[in-house]
Amino acid sequence: MRDLEKLGDAAVAALAAAGVERLLPDAASPYLLIAEHAGNIVPAPWRDLGLAEPYLGTHFAVDVGVDALTRRLSQTLRAPAVIARYSRLFLDYNRPADEWDFMRPDLGGIPVPGNLAVDAADARLRKLVAWAPVERAIIEAAAGRRALISVHSFTPVMGGVKRNVDIGVLWREQSPFVNSVLKTLRTQGAEAGFRIGDNEPYDWRQAVGYTLNRHGLQQGRPCLYLEVRNDLLADPETFERISRLLENAFATVAMSLWPQSAAAV
């Protein structure tokens, strides 16, 4: 894009600073919450990537409901959180840079004009503005944590198929943490009337990830992707019930696995 060449260093630094939010960075929780898809902002110089506004409210642009859910869990668990504010369409922090959907050229066939032919200078600028600040924030916040929870949401129907779970726990390597979360959430979830998915609605072992590959698995740090059906989060009462379920379950797990941690919950 033409305008990008005019961006000075100060403007780039300001865009980078606006791309990430850190919640409770000094909290002593064993957990770090990460929300890579919480935001739907496209930095102004990129002009919404040429998309009409309604597209920026879809799951292609943002994990609907995750911003509010992550803030809630951070507050109640007193856990630090890293929230990426730029749309996954601008740059998908949770994809390796060489994946086709790192800067996704289409929404299931609907072209994204600004992503059809991203040149090297544009890609470099997006990494500076969107990738680097999130990377730095996660590295800083993850130091010393016992486990990472990456918070996501999914659509209730995909390709005509209704997904038959409400909350999914996606994992790649088993660990006491993963096992404990699954066991606890299954029990407490059943009581609360929610269906818990074990590597559902999709299986992390068959899917590409980035954040938790890099900051979790490769660091030997237990981790999981938490996936919540986004239409459930849109209803205030159900949002409240799901939040309570999740905070109770993660508190239970922390007390069980790390009882010595004074700041477990």
Residue type present at position 187: T
Extract the runs of DSSP E, i.e. beta strands, from 90-234.
106-107, 110-111, 147-154, 157-158, 161-162, 167-170, 196-198, 223-229
Among 12, 68, 107, 217, binds its own copies (CB under 8 A): 107
CB of 115 to its own copies, least distance (A): 9
Q: How many residues bind its own copies (CB under 8 A)?
A: 26
Binding mask 137-156 for its own copies (x = CB under 8 A): ------------------xx
- Does 262 bind its own copies (CB under 8 A)? Our answer is no
Identify the CA nearest to 207 among candidates 107, 124, 92: 92
Complex with its own copies: residue 60 or 177, whichever CB lies closer: 60
Among 17, 44, 97, 110, binds its own copies (CB under 8 A): 110
CA-based end-to-end distance of the chain = 47
What is the rounded CA–CA span in Å between residue 217 and residue 239? 30
Among 2, 6, 26, 109, binds its own copies (CB under 8 A): 109
- Tokens (6 digits) for 89: 């369409």
- Does 200 bind its own copies (CB under 8 A)? Our answer is no
- Does 159 bind its own copies (CB under 8 A)? Our answer is yes
Site for its own copies in 43-72 (CB under 8 A): 52-55, 58-60
- Tokens (6 digits) for 57: 């409210």
Binding window for its own copies (CB under 8 A); candidates: 38-46, 97-105, 179-187, 256-264: 97-105
- Does 235 bind its own copies (CB under 8 A)? Our answer is no
Residues 6+ apart with CB under 8 A from 263: 27, 28, 29, 30, 78
Complex with its own copies: residue 19 or 114, whichever CB lies closer: 114
Identify the CA nearest to 200 among candidates 223, 180, 229: 229
The SS3 of residue 150 is strand
What is the rounded CA–CA span in Å between residue 168 and residue 242? 12
Complex with its own copies: residue 29 or 153, whichever CB lies closer: 153
Binding window for its own copies (CB under 8 A); candidates: 10-18, 158-166, 183-191, 250-258: 158-166
What is the rounded CA–CA span in Å between residue 252 and residue 242? 15
CB of 162 to its own copies, least distance (A): 8
List residues binding its own copies (CB under 8 A): 52-55, 58-60, 100-101, 104-111, 116, 155-161, 231
